[in-house]
Amino acid sequence: MSKRVYETTLCERRALTEDIFEMILAFAPEDKPDAVTPGQFVGVYTGDAAMLLPRPVSICGYDAGEGRLRLVCRAQGAGTKYLRSLKPGAVVRVLGILGNGYDLAALEGRKALLLGGGVGIPPMLELAARLKDRAEVTAVLGYRDAADFLAEDFAQVCSVYVATEDGSKGIRGNVLDAVRQKGIESDVVCACGPLPMLRAVKEYAKERGIPCFVSLEERMACGVGACLGCVCRTAGEDAHSHVRNARVCTEGPVFAAEEVEL
Amino acid sequence: MGNCTENTVKAAPDLSVNIAGVTLKNPVMTASGTFGSGMEYGEMIDISRLGAIVTKGVSDVPWEGNPTPRVAETYGGMLNAIGLQNPGVDVFIERDLAYLEQYRPGTKVIVNVCGHTEEEYLNVVERLSDTNADMLEINVSCPNVKCGALAFGQDPATLCGITEKICRIAKQPVIMKLTPNVTSIAELAKAAESGGADAISLINTLTGMKIDVERQRFVLANRTGGLSGPAIHPVAVRMVYEAAHAVKIPVIGMGGIACAEDALEFLLAGASAVAVGCMNFHDPETTHRVIDGIEDYLSRHGCSGVREIIGAVR
């Protein structure tokens, strides 16, 4: 499906924690994406041209029938704070659907471990939901503290464990501490979260000799592969520039862990 | 302004312009580095409506570019320090130029050329000589690529020298792309003209810097980057005006164009064509809106063609 700018309508917006918020965006019925792949993202425009770049936000859920997109993000900079201030009914321009998501066929029938840290958690929900009844899914979600979000949504589609850095909820420590403590077995790992977490997860999967897929984050401009702003170091020559810098927005954001240097 | 208002023109205005013997069906092109080689945007917008497409800079061998973060948004603009990552001229000719052939001759293809040394520039120009590239744009002004203390485009004598060498071997018309990071843009424009350039384009990005105050460090890995976007538009208009009055060769104006009015300012200031850059990221249809808006403006002002308004504001 070709990429383009959609005009969506903000249906719902609510705070999940002090700084994490959820937006439900409705596509026009006659003009909606047929489907999305978990791990794909959209570029959300603020509506204020002084903040001209689209904000890359991973897809937390998509109801293809209703054409409703669920996005969960952290109000961190001026752009995301602007989005958090929008009222239902607001028109939100969305560039999409962007990037390559997870290869569901490669996960089918497997014992899949989904690891999400902070704002890396939302895309894992769509992945868990799509793998429901197709794989044996366990999700481990890492938060800073007891202000968790989406954990109940995960509980409806898979087994879920919560880890918090300060130990105020669930298991004290990071997602891998929780995996080890609970003795969670898997034969494939998918992860999205901060870089130190992804490095550790890649190492964890390598030690066990199981495949690992990571979803990367990088500062982006165009979102469609034209500007080469959001590259990541790759193990081999990349397809676009024939160096070792693949575009996170286009070749990614989901990569096989061994293909990228973290 | 011109003699436009005297006429009552019923026919659609003629949007075509001529740059160094190459006729563009309209004066709107993409700015190098913001549009790849068209492939990425080709699925979103109708590229065949453009007067020309200007490709991302290509060097003689593949360039890795700078470490990330490479981009940062600023108020009404953005900083970039991509560092001209590109696959090198061989892949470019085989893949990118071949792809763009479908849009020729209706949409002209202008290939942007970069290098660290004179030799590298000349290698690329030579490799492109037997291709269908309609024109060459020479990037002697990228703020993110270092070669000595100054970019080639910052010293008049150096600029004149490299222009001469390139023009001697180039088979296509040569556009020298100028940097705004100089004291006198008129002087650099004259240097390019005296070196034999067929046209000049400006402005490239303004060198800038952004600091993350919470982390107390530079936002860009390269520390500095090139500023583009609507924030730089008035600076660009001033420089295009000064350059257009300093030389006789055609000037291509760019810098922060977001709408037809922004493009018209460049044309009225003396540019023969314009390029849309950063705002492609904000709205991939910006070029189309600019083309439609220029046509509408010409009709409203009773102009038979865009050439009537070029340099009309003195």
C-alpha–C-alpha distance, residues A3 and A5, integer Å: 7
Q: Do B34 and A222 touch (CB under 8 A)?
A: yes
Q: Does B151 touch chain A (CB under 8 A)?
A: no
Question: Quick one: pLDDT at residue A108?
Answer: 96
- The helix (H) or strand (E) run that includes residue A261 is none
Query: Is the Cβ–Cβ distance between B90 and B102 less than 8 Å?
Result: no
Q: Indicate the residue type of A9.
A: T
Supply φ then ψ for residue B40, to 5 degrees: -70, -35
Has residue B1 got a pLDDT over 80? no
> pLDDT class for B11, splitting at 50, 70, 90?
confident
ipTM, 2 dp: 0.94
What does the pLDDT look like over B238-293, one tens digit per residue? Answer: 999 999 999 999 999 999 999 999 999 999 999 999 999 999 999 999 999 999 99
- The closest of B233, B177, B234, B222 to B79, measured between CA atoms, is B222
| CB-based contact, B76 to chain A, within 8 Å | yes
| A158-208 pLDDT, tens digit each | 999 999 999 999 999 999 999 999 999 999 999 999 999 999 999 999 999
- pLDDT at A13 > cutoff 60: yes
Query: What class does CATH assign to A216-262?
Result: mainly beta
- Identify which of B225, B243, B226, B289 has the alpha carbon closest to the alpha carbon of residue B263: B289
Residue of chain B whose Cα is closest to the Cα of A53: B282
Question: What chain B residue is nearest to A249 in terms of C-alpha separation?
Answer: B40
CATH for B4-309 is: 3.20.20.70
Mean pLDDT of A2-30: 96
Amino acid at B227: L
Using CB atoms within 10 A of its CB, is residue A172 exposed (0-12), middle (13-18) or buried (19+)?
Answer: middle
Structure confidence at residue B145 (pLDDT): 65
In chain A, where the domains are located: 4-98, 104-211, 216-262
* Whole-angstrom distance, CA of residue B115 vs CA of residue B105: 28
B46 in reach of chain A (CB within 8 A): no
- Radius of gyration in angstroms for the set of CA atoms belonging to chain A, rounded to a whole number: 18
Q: What is the pLDDT of residue A227?
A: 97
B43 close contact with A: CB closer than 8 A: yes
For B65, the closest of A2, A222, A228 (CB atoms) is A228
Suggest the residue from A1, A42, A53 to mutate for an interface test with chain B (most B CBs closer than 10 A): A53
B2 at A interface, C-beta within 8 A: no
pLDDT of amino acid A2: 78
Asked whether the beta carbons of residue A5 and residue B44 sit closer than 8 angstroms, the reply is yes
Of B71, B281, B282, the CB nearest to A219: B71
Cα–Cα distance, B228 to B238 (Å, whole number):
15
Residue B121: name the closest of B112, B129, B113, B133 by CA. Answer: B113
Cβ–Cβ of A52/B229 closer than 8 Å? yes
Local confidence band at B150 (pLDDT 50, 70, 90 cut-offs) = low
CATH topology of domain A104-211: Rossmann fold (3.40.50)
Would you call B296 helix, strand, or coil by DSSP? helix
Q: Where are the beta strands (DSSP E) in chain B?
A: 17-19, 22-24, 28-30, 52-54, 71-74, 77-80, 108-113, 135-139, 174-177, 199-202, 206-209, 211-212, 217-218, 224-228, 251-254, 273-276
- CATH entry, A4-98, from 3.40.50.2300, 3.40.50.300, 2.40.30.10, 3.30.200.20: 2.40.30.10
